[in-house]
Amino acid sequence: MSHVCPRCFESSIMQLRVTELRRNKPYPHCTYHPTLKGVPAEEVANLLDTALRANYAISSSPLEFSEARSFHDVVRDVTGADDDLVVQDLVSALMDADYYDQRDGDFPFYGEDQNYELIKPEGWLQSALWNEFRSAITHDRRFFNEDAKSLLAEIFDKVHLQSDSDGKSALYALDSSARIFRARKVRTVVEAEAVKADPRKALGPPPENLRQAGRMNAAGIGAFYGGLNANTCIAELRPPVGSLVCLGAFRPRRPIYVLDFTRFERPGRQIHILSKNYFSRTTQWAFLQSFEVEISKPVLPDDEHLEYVPAQAVAEYLTSVPITLRKKPLRIQGLVFRSAQHAGGKNVVLFGDAALVANGDVPNAPMRAPTQMFDDDIPSLPARAERIPALEFIDGSFALQSVMSATYDVEEEHLSPEGEADF
Phi and psi, residue 73, nearest 5°: -65, -35
For residue 189, the model assigns a pLDDT of 92
As a dihedral over the C-alpha atoms of residue 274, residue 280, residue 281, residue 287, rounded to 10 degrees, the angle is 140
Contact call for residues 23 and 14 (beta carbons, < 8 A): no
Return the closest-CA partner of residue 288 out of 267, 258, 309: 267
d(CA 92, CA 2): 11
DSSP 170: S
Is residue 351 predicted with pLDDT exceeding 90? yes
Per-position b or e across 146-168, b if 16+ CB within 10 A of its CB: eebbebbeebbeebbbbbbeeee
Across all residues in the chain, what is the average pLDDT? 85
Banded model confidence at residue 239, pLDDT cuts 50, 70, 90: confident
Q: Helices 278-296 and 41-55: crossing angle, nearest 10°?
A: 20
Map residue 392 onto helix, strand or coil. strand
Calculate mean pLDDT across residues 317-337. Answer: 92
For residue 386, the model assigns a pLDDT of 66
Is residue 421 predicted with pLDDT exceeding 80? no
% of the chain with per-residue pLDDT over 70? 84
Map residue 186 onto helix, strand or coil. strand
Q: How far is Cα of residue 410 from the mean position of the Cα atoms in its chain?
A: 28
Domain spans of the chain, in order of start: 3-118, 158-422
Give the range among 132-136, 224-228, 372-376 with minimum mean pLDDT: 372-376
Calculate mean pLDDT across residues 3-14. Answer: 95
Calculate mean pLDDT across residues 344-355. Answer: 92
What is the full DSSP assignment across 229-257?
SHHHHHHHT-PPTT-EEEEEEEEESS-EE
User: 66 to each of 33, 58, 69, 73, 412, how far by Cα in Å?
Assistant: 37, 12, 9, 14, 33
Give the range among 4-13, 95-104, 156-165, 404-413 with minimum mean pLDDT: 404-413
d(CA 119, CA 59): 10
Banded model confidence at residue 385, pLDDT cuts 50, 70, 90: low
Q: How many residues appear in the chain?
A: 423
**Top-ranked range on mean pLDDT: pick from 20-24, 45-49, 293-297, 367-371:** 45-49
Return the closest-CA partner of residue 231 out of 410, 399, 409, 411: 399
User: 65 to each of 60, 118, 210, 399, how far by Cα in Å?
Assistant: 11, 15, 61, 56
DSSP 164: B
Helices (H), 23-120: 41-55, 71-79, 84-96
Contact call for residues 80 and 11 (beta carbons, < 8 A): yes
pTM above 0.85, yes or no: no
